[in-house]
Each structure stands twice: as structure tokens, then as C-alpha cells.
Structure 1
Amino acid sequence: MKILYLNLDRGIPVEGDKGASVHVREFVTAAAALGHEVTLACTTRGAGNPPPPARILQFGAPPADMSIGNEIERRERVRLDHDGLVADRICSTLARLGIEPDLVYERHALFHRAGVSIAARLGVPRILEVNAPLVEEQRRFRGLYLVDEALEAEEASYRGADAIIAVSRQVAAQVAGVIGRTDRIHVVPNGVDLARFANVDAIGAVIRARLGLAGRRIAGFIGSFKTWHGVPFLIEAIAAAAAWHPDLHLLAVGDGPEREAVAALVAKLGLADRVTLPGRIPHGEIPGWLGAMDFTVAPYLPQPDFYFSPLKIFESLAAGRAVVAPEIGEIDGIVAHGETGLLYPAGDGIALQAALSRLLADQAACQTMGWRGRQRLAGRDWRDVVRLCLALAPVRLPA
């Protein structure tokens, strides 16, 4: 099958580090491995990681109108202008290159509905992948000025899909609330490249030795240090647990808006010899860093309607690492408490400390949980996920 994959969100660089960028590359890589020919049309190609095996076409956004005084409105107008122009640009480029897709697969983007027009012009089905309730997310975390325009584009994009992939039940419920139907909506959680995250212990030992952490019990975090990731909350728990576990060390990998504040908190609490912050690591090297960890922590903070399908948890389990995480959203369907990791009430620092102590006190149990976690991911390889998603493509549903 010839697939046109649309990633029109300018904030998701194809070759970038964030989880959304990883998701794009993994999906396209798996589709290619299944024998599909993928053309990836994006707004931002980015840099920092190898590109996926696809023909990548970049269609940059137009310049901002600097006469618009409100910065949020100015950014949003760029998205709207881009959406109004990009369908013509993509279709003319496909025609010029002789590319005739059989399917449009689109990652849903705020203020974008161009995929509806593109699929109609090409006369092919369109699958829409929705990873978050983007209008509400934007309003809550970044600010939203053109609310009506955002809601209108969202509804048009949802209604113009032949099938909708939602990464969680919470996302599916939001989509259903907008379009008033459920027959087009399919819940498909994220996946993981099981082969890439296998046999990570040897390289992990090398990383441990290089960092001077041989013999330590290492709790790990991997992420982009966003507010809702809860890294300061984790640091506080590490500080408390360290009093009882002198060999405890936290290895927190990644970069992002809260990293400087986290570093300051580490210094304030006197944890410089207990916490390592190596910064940005290319995603291709993440399996080895997971191999350096005894277990990982995903310390998400409490929030209403937690809708994520966290890649970091799938990757930790695939690496054979037990996971400590809050019992929130879909996480209890990924981590089995006491079997593949430990769950605690979101925001409960005492409970998090207890979970850390339990894994630190029983290394054999920790390793057994990690082994079980990997075994339970059978059927969750990215190729399985992509095969399932694309199976929804051949038949158009009635309007």
C-alpha cells in the first residue's frame, strides 16, 4: 500500500526528541517494515535523530504577521494560514512527483483540517490518529486565543475521517463527544520496538561504569521534563528514600522546560551525589540507558482526564525494567501492580517513597517484574499496532 502520512503540527519535528516525534518515526518505520511505501508530509523535519524510511516532504509554515500584537493569536493565525495553503501545496507536489497514495494517515494537529481535503482530492480513505484532546490541552497548558476556530477545525477533522485511532479510552470519549458517534472510533494504545529494546544489560553496564555508578541501585526517569511529568515530585521522593537506601541513585535522562529547576532542586536538597542529569540523549541510544537502570519511574502528577498512552512506560517494560507509576488514566492497563511494576495514588509522595523502597529492598522481585513486563508486551510491537491501524483503511464508512 502507498501511504501518505501527514504530520502537519509544526511543534512535532520528524527527527526530534519528544515522544510525539518518536511516535511518528516508529509508526512510519513499522509501516515500511510491513512492506508499505510511505510518503511523509510534514511542517517541520527537525534534526537530532535518523529519519524514518520514507520519502519526506517538508512544507514549512508561512511567516507570522508581526502586526498582530497578541503573541498567542499571532502563532495561531500562522497555523490557520498554513492549513489553508498546505492542501494545494501537498497535492501539487504529489502530482509533480507522480505519487499516487492509496491512503491518507494523519496525525491530528491543532487548527488543521487540510487532510480532509487532501484525501477527497486523492479519492482515498483517511485515517485520523488522535493522541490528545488538543484544544483542551492547549487551553490548559499554553493558552488559546482563537477558541472557536480551533473547535471548528477539530470537529471538521474528526468528522472528515473514515476511521479514527484514539490512543486511550479518554481520548476516544472526547472524540465521541464532539462527533456524537462511536462507530468510527477505535482505541489502539501505543506500541514499542521490541527488538530494539531487547538485551540492553551489557551496554547498560558500560554506561554505569562510565558514570561511576557501578554497584549502585539506579532508579531511572526518561522524558522531556514537562510540568506534568512530575520530576520535582520524584526528586523529593528520592531525597526521602535515600535516608534508608544509601546505594540509591536517580538517573534522570532528557531535557525540557523544567530541567534547570530540577537541577536547582537537586542542589538545594544536597543530592548532587545521588542524582545524575545527563541531558538530551538521542532516542536510538535510549535502550542502553534503560539498561543502566534497575527500574524506572513515571511520576505523572494528578490531573483530570489523564489521556496519555506513555511511550516511556512501554519502552521501560520492553527493556525488562519494572515501572513505578501512578494509578491514573490508562496506566493500570499497562503496568500490572505487583506483577510488572508498582502503582501508587497519583500525587501521594509517601506512597511513591514506599514503592521505591519496596523495589530497592528486593532486587530479585524487581528483576522478575521487569522480565514479566517484557513478556506481557507480546502483540504490542509497533508492527502489530500499525497492522491493526491499517486494517481499518480499505473500506470507507458511510457519512
Structure 2
Amino acid sequence: MRILHILDHGLPLQSGYTFRTRAILSAQMRRGHRVAAITGPRQRALGVPFETVDGIDFHRTPPVNTLPAPLGELREIATYARRIDQVVQEFRPDVLHAHSPVLDALAALKVARARRIPLMYEIRAFWEDAAVGNGTGTEGSWKYRLTRAAETFAVRRADAVAVICDGLRRDLIARGIAGDKIMVSPNGVDLTLFGAPAPADPGLATELGLLGAETIGFIGSFYDYEGLDTLIAAMPALVAARPAARLVMVGGGPMEEALRAQAAASSAAHAIRFVGRVPHGDVEKYYGLIDLLVYPRKHMRLTDLVTPLKPLEAMAQRRLVAASDVGGHRELIRDGETGTLFAPDDPAALARAVAGVFVDRSDWDARRARARAFVETERDWATNVARYDGVYQNITDAAAMKPSWSRSRFHRA
């Protein structure tokens, strides 16, 4: 089957979004599908209409000049739809697979209807909730309501819908979307990229002052919804209970300056290390130094509905994980079995939970093994990607039954 994936952005940019995309497309190619992708104006690919990255073919869309909302978004949709149509004529896909945000789905819908190609729309997070979580939007504002309405519009008109977790599926059903139209394609990892965990690098440990430390850490993007301020606020109590505790923060993002200032003012400042952003190839070194990865996401609509990718990557590398008890984490972590859950937005609860992990190490190896087994059996893309095939077949079969399908599919719109 020929599948064209329609994306906001993709490789070589690095994010949870691009890593999930790479895993899906690579697994589909291994299953024998012909796969290509197109990225939208926000990739800002200047003068590069096509490139192959990590064996995946990416068609690019040139950036557009920004305008105030919603005019800017309407221009993006129109520009992207024209570029998708060009690629469709060249690639001739059997199915279009658009990935959130909703602008991608709206652009893909224009082409899907004109070309009579079935469309799957995959939602990784609701765009309006992501804006609230990132601090760029306000729940209940006119823009929030408009974006939510656009999301519902796209879902109703797509031939099939995929979501990354049950929380998103339940929300769509509450909007009146038929449950049998929605498949769950949970966050997963490409286990071909995660073998034996990296050994600790003694030179790097010495450089960071971590020799003999009980090391906790976070590796990822520093967004407000990640709750990293709660993690830093927990450090004085944690160090009081476990004097050897040290926190390593790897990454960067909008909250970095505020978090560094918070850490510098903390009584536990001596126990907190900021590494900054590191090349993707070096990330494993830092995983190898950290005893316990901590994910303290705040309690809000976004984190209750959406499952993150980073805890799965840590579990795939046989790392211990602790996370706030929000809906997205509960779909990934079984408290006391594959990881530890603690009350969100509560530095004292975080400190107690993390200290408890270091009090008793007798279950560490078994917990790591259970976490890895969970990823292997339930979250490996090599098997999970097969969920798409039946849906693709159903919507292409249904499209083939419609009048004038064979005559009109690639007419000039």
C-alpha cells in the first residue's frame, strides 16, 4: 500500500513528535508499504523541496509569511493543501494519513475530497490544550473554542481517526464521534533503537560531580506542563532525607531560564546540575548516569488526556521511572510494578516517593525487567504498527465502492 503521511514537522528536527513519526514510518516500510511524508510550512524548509532522512522520503512545504490569527492559519492551510496536492499527483498514494495539529488535517481534507482519496487523521494531542499547556493559550478563550470546533469538524469528516491514548478517545466520543470510527494507536518505541542500557561513563560522572551519588534526572523539553518547577522545589526535602541525592536536568525550552533561577535560589542548589541541550547521539550517556528518571507533569487537561513518550523510552532502556499520578502517566506506569507514581503538583509527595525508591533497592532489577517487558509486549512499534493496516484497508475498500472513484481519483482539482 502507498501511504502519504502529512506532518507538521519531521526529521531532521528532533522532538517526541518526530521520533514517533520516524518509528511509525520505519516500521511501515519494514512491513513492505511504500511510504512518504510531507511536512508543513512550520518546518521552515527553505529551498529544500525534497530530502531523504534516516531512509525516509520527506517532501517539504515552503514557509509562509505570518498574519494575525485566524488569517495566518487559513493561509497556512491553503498553502499546505496546494503542496500536498502536488505530492499526491507525483506519489499517487492509496491513503492519506494526516497527523495533528488540526491544520494538517484541514489541508489534507481539501485534497482528499478533491482527489477522492481516503483520509486517516491521527491526533497526538488536542492543539487547543497543547497551547494551554505551553502557556501560549487560555482555556475557554475564543481561539481555544475555535480550535476545538475545527478539531471536531476535521474528525467528523475524516474517514478514520487514530488517537494515541484512551483519554483522547473518550473525549471524542463525548463530542458525539462514533467509537467504532476511532482506533487507539498508543505511544510506542522502536526497540531496534534501544538495546542494552548504556553503562555509566565515569569520566562524565566525575565532570558532573555524580560519583557515589543517588542520581535522579529529567531528559526532555522544559515546558511548563512538565512540572519541572515541582521537581526543583522537592530537592531540599529530598536532600534532607537522602544527602547523596543529585538532580540532573538535560534539555532546554521555554522554562529553562526560570528553572535555572529557581535552582540557583534553592537551598539544594549544590545538588542540581543543568546540562543544557545535547546532541541526540549523546543522550544515552546521560541515561546511563541516572538511577531514576522523574516525570513530574502538572495536573491539567492536557496531561490527563495525553500519554508522553519519554517514560516509554526510559523503560525501554531498563531505567527506573517515577511520575506524577496524572491520566497520561497512569496509562503507561503501574505503580509499584513498572514504576512509581506520586501526587502531582506536590513537592513533598515527590520527595517522599523518590526517597522511598532509594531506601530499598532490592526490587530494582525486577522492576526494570517488568518495565522493559511491558514495552516489548504492549508498546513496540514493530507489532503495534500493524493496527493501521486493517483500518487502511477498510477505508480504501469503502472509497473504491463510491461512484466515479477510479475515474476521478487523480483528476486536476
- When normalised by structure 1's length, the TM-score is 0.88
Partner of residue 166, structure 1: 163
Q: Does 1:129 align with 2:116?
A: no
Q: 1:142 aligns with which of 136, 139, 142?
A: 136
Kept in 2, the 8 Å contact 1:5–1:40? The answer is yes
Residue of 85, 92, 104 corresponding to 2:96: 104
SS at match of 1:135: helix
What residue ranges of structure 2 are gaps of 5+ in the alignment? 46-51, 403-413
Query: What residue number does 2:29 align with?
Result: 32
Q: Secondary structure at the match of 1:104?
A: strand
- AA aligned to 1:370 is R
1:184-333 mapped onto 2 (5 Å cutoff): 184-202=181-199, 207-304=204-301, 306-333=304-331
- CA RMSD for the aligned pairs? 2.5
What's the offset of the Cα at 1:130? 0.6
Which segment is superposed worse, 309-318 or 165-174? 165-174
Are residues 157 and 322 of structure 1, via their aligned partners in 2, closer, same or farther at CA, if it must alter by over 3 Å? same
Partner of 2:81: 87
Distance 1:158 1:337, change over 3 A: same
Q: Counterpart in 2 of 1:21? A: 18
Distance change in 2, residues 1:288/1:388 (3 Å): farther
Is the CA contact 1:167–1:309 (under 8 Å) kept in the aligned structure 2? yes
* Change in 2 beyond 3 A, CA 1:209/1:384: farther
CA displacement 1:132-186 (0-9 Å, x = unmatched): 1223443674236555653443233212222211112221122223343211011
Q: What amino acid maps onto 1:355 in structure 2?
A: A
Question: Is 1:395 paired with 2:388?
Answer: no
Kept in 1, the 8 Å contact 2:27–2:381? The answer is: yes
Q: Work out whether residues 84 and 108 of structure 2, in 8 Å CA contact, stay in contact via their aligned partners in 1.
A: no
Match of 2:411 in 1: none
| Residue in structure 2 matched with residue 63 of structure 1 by the alignment | 65
Residue type of the alignment partner of 1:127: M
**1:349 offset after TM fit, Å?**
2.4
Measure the CA separation in 2 of the matches of 1:231 and 1:52.
32
What code does the residue aligned with 1:326 have?
Answer: S
- Deviations, residues 85-142 of structure 1 (Å, cap 9, x unaligned): 32222222442xx311122111022344121222334443222111112234436742
> 2:10, 2:21 within 8 Å by CA — same for their partners in 1?
no
Query: What 5-or-longer segments of structure 1 have no aligned partner?
Result: 66-73
How far the C-alpha of 1:292 sits from its partner, in A, is 1.6
Give the superposition deviation at 1:63.
1.0
Contact 1:127 1:162 in 2 (8 A): yes
1:315 Cα deviation after fit:
0.7
CA contact (8 A) 1:230 1:299 kept: yes
Q: Does 1:4 align with 2:40?
A: no
Q: Structure 1 residue 329: deviation in Å?
A: 0.5
Instruction: Give the C-alpha shift of residue 204 in structure 1.
Output: 5.1
Indicate if the aligned counterparts of 1:40 and 1:55 stay in contact, CA closer than 8 A: yes
Q: Is the 8 A contact 1:287 1:319 kept in 2?
A: no
Describe the SS at the equivalent of 2:297. Answer: coil
Q: After TM superposition, where is structure 1 displaced by more than 6 Å over at least 4 residues in a row? A: none
In the alignment, is the contact (CA less than 8 A) between 1:302 and 1:347 conserved in 2?
yes
Distance 1:94 1:26 in 2: 23
- The answer to whether the 8 Å contact 1:6/1:42 transfers is yes
Q: Which amino acid aligns with 1:115?
A: A
Q: Please report how far the alpha carbon of residue 312 of structure 1 lies from its aligned counterpart in structure 2 after TM superposition.
A: 0.8
Residues 251-302 of structure 1, C-alpha deviations (whole Å, 9 max, x = no match): 1111011111111111111434311111112334333322221111100112
Instruction: Tell whether the 8 Å contact from 1:291 to 1:319 is kept in structure 2 after alignment.
Output: no
Pick the structure with more helix per residue. Answer: 2
- The answer to whether residue 346 in structure 2 is matched with residue 344 in structure 1 is no
| Alignment CA distance shift 1:147-1:269 (3 Å) | closer
**Number of residues paired by the alignment?**
384
Alignment correspondent of 1:70: none
Between 34-43 and 199-208, the greater mean CA deviation after superposition: 199-208
Question: CA 1:89/1:99 → structure 2, altered by over 3 Å: closer, same or farther?
Answer: same
- Give 1:388's aligned amino acid: R
Q: Which residue of 2 aligns with 1:69?
A: none
The CA distance in 2 between the partners of 1:148 and 1:377, in whole Å, is 36
Identity of aligned residues (%): 26
Change in Cα spacing, 1:139 to 1:256, as seen in structure 2 (3 Å) is closer
Task: Please give the alpha-carbon distance, in whole angstroms, between the structure 2 residues aligned to 1:228 and 1:367.
Answer: 31
Structure 1 residue matching 2:102: 3-state secondary structure: coil
Give 2:2's aligned amino acid: K
Higher mean alpha-carbon deviation, 133-142 vs 33-42, is at 133-142
1:382 equivalent in alignment to 2:381: yes
In the alignment, the residues of structure 2 paired with residue 194 and residue 354 of structure 1 have an alpha-carbon distance, to the nearest angstrom, of: 32
* Structure 2 counterpart of 1:71: none
Between the aligned partners of 1:212 and 1:5, the Cα distance in structure 2 is 45
CA distances 1:46-70 after superposition (whole Å, capped 9, x unpaired): 79xx9342211111342124xxxxx
Q: What is the one-letter code of the residue matched to 2:80?
A: V
Residue deviations 1:373-396 (CA, integer Å, cap 9, x gap):
112212311222222223321112
**Cα contact 2:239–2:268 (8 A) shared by 1:** no
How big is each residue's C-alpha offset from its partner over 1:208-264, in whole Å with a ceiling of 9 and x where there is no partner? 345342221111111211111111110111221111212211111110111111111
- Range that drifts further, 326-335 or 201-210: 201-210
